[in-house]
Structure 1
Amino acid sequence: MRTLIRALPWAVLTLKVGVALVNVATFPRLRPSGVSVRAARRVSVLIPARNEALTLQETLGGVLCQGALEVLVLDDESQDQTGEVARSRGAGSGGSAAAAALEWQDLGLSSAGSGGPGEFLLFTDADVSWSPGALDALLTELERTGADLLSVFPRQANVTGGERLLTPLVDHVLLTLLPAPLLRLRHRQASAANGQVMLFRRGIYARLGGHAAVHDHLLEDVALSQLVKAAGGRVSVALGRDLIRVRMYRSYPDSVRGFGKNVLTVHGGPGWRSACPGS
């Protein structure tokens, strides 16, 4: 028994190293695309936001410069200037993020003159930064894989030493415990997704009932990916590399509070015209 106990940590370490090596070789990565920006005009972008006024001032320009059909900020009863920031930039803004995400067509959030929502629905978080051409790369990867849902894991854009202490654990878990080849299986349990970036074909999202179908799940993103597979659809994932980045927290205390909140949860408890970055 003692021998088994002593060997267990080495077995776990060997497994994690093995998975990491597999992912280094096989995990899909977004790459700059030669697709015309006109392809992005088929996409409606939805950004759930709660008290994200300062963050949106930094990230919203990059989203809107992707050339999407429309960009809608779904203001979830913010107590700061989130809605005002969105509206002042010319972006669409709805009420409760939950309501807008579930019933955004009925709420009339589609931009004037757009002819209705896009062929693709892209949900992305307010703290995700989009480099020029990122949306085209996303569409190219979706078509390459034939996916009905493509979810991206953004590169962690950590700046301060404090945030570097905890935030990289997100990638550690992803790249050492989730072998990418298993996700190609059709079984619904072989599913993964990241709510920070989820690109759906509009038809299957509507057919599944959207976020309303998983409102009682702790991990809505993973549950949605499982529903897509259960319905016979394809799910694909990719790493964002330099095209899609995220700065989740600004300091070590912020990281502790943010991850602590997530741990408690899991355990029960039209577009703005601005100067484009890089243009």
Structure 2
Amino acid sequence: MLDEVLEQLGVQTLAINEVEDSYSSNVYKCKLLNGKNVYVKIPYTKEKYQRELEAYEILKGKVSIPEMLAHWSGNEECPGAFLLSELKGKPLTLQASSAVAFQVGVLHATLHNIQPTAKNESKSIENEFSNWLNFVETQFYNFAEDVREIIDAHLYDRSIAKFNEMKQRLPSPDGPSFLHMDFRPANIIVDKDNVSGIIDFESVQFGSTEVDFTKLYRDFLCFDTNLYQSYQDGYKSIRPLIDMDAVLPFYQFTDAFNSIGWCKRRGAEKNASFLNENLTILKKILG
């Protein structure tokens, strides 16, 4: 499939390396004959291809993203593919400076400032804001069928009770806003003390901002209060920040629970490390 994709995109390469840490698409770093690097991305489904294609149209000129050099709509074997420019730098790490954390906050708030309009109305990017709590509940119980099969029955029952208890305390949703839905360090590219931009838009949608902080907090913000404060300062320089203490516990819980279900679907043994990480989070929240 990759050979055909490269041909359709008109790419001639000196070297190809598969990119790790990509879970809903196949991504390849390609060195071209002129020495430049580009990325070829093949989403797992047609829906993800279409969603990412429309996201690039919405985000272009508003936030820093890779340039889409070419795209192919695919065929019966391939759902589609993108040829993307390289953002200078490497994924965000815990060694980032406060200045970088501030810029991450600015970037995130800028995304959230994008609202659905007639101009950016999309066929593939859903707007769940008006029915937000039902959306969260549907997603939770969808994964619950998988979670039930791999965790202790008592832990499962306590999780269901905890969900019903915590959702009653949620504040009014904030939005409608453009949500990345996978805003985590691996998708935020940093060059020294500058944020180069953000990648990976196959899961985006419009909805309430409250869901979009969870992964960044889990993988970056929770480890350093200074970085967390700088992130918040950056975010607030663009738009008001919701009460994180009021929403983070609920979304940390649902993210851990749903991630366990995701591991079951993608293979519990293959994703054992991520599964155990989320089981630990779930048990800690349940006490």
Give TM-score, length-normalised by structure 1: 0.29
Higher relative contact order (CA closer than 8 Å, sequence separation 6+): 1
Give TM-score, length-normalised by structure 2: 0.28
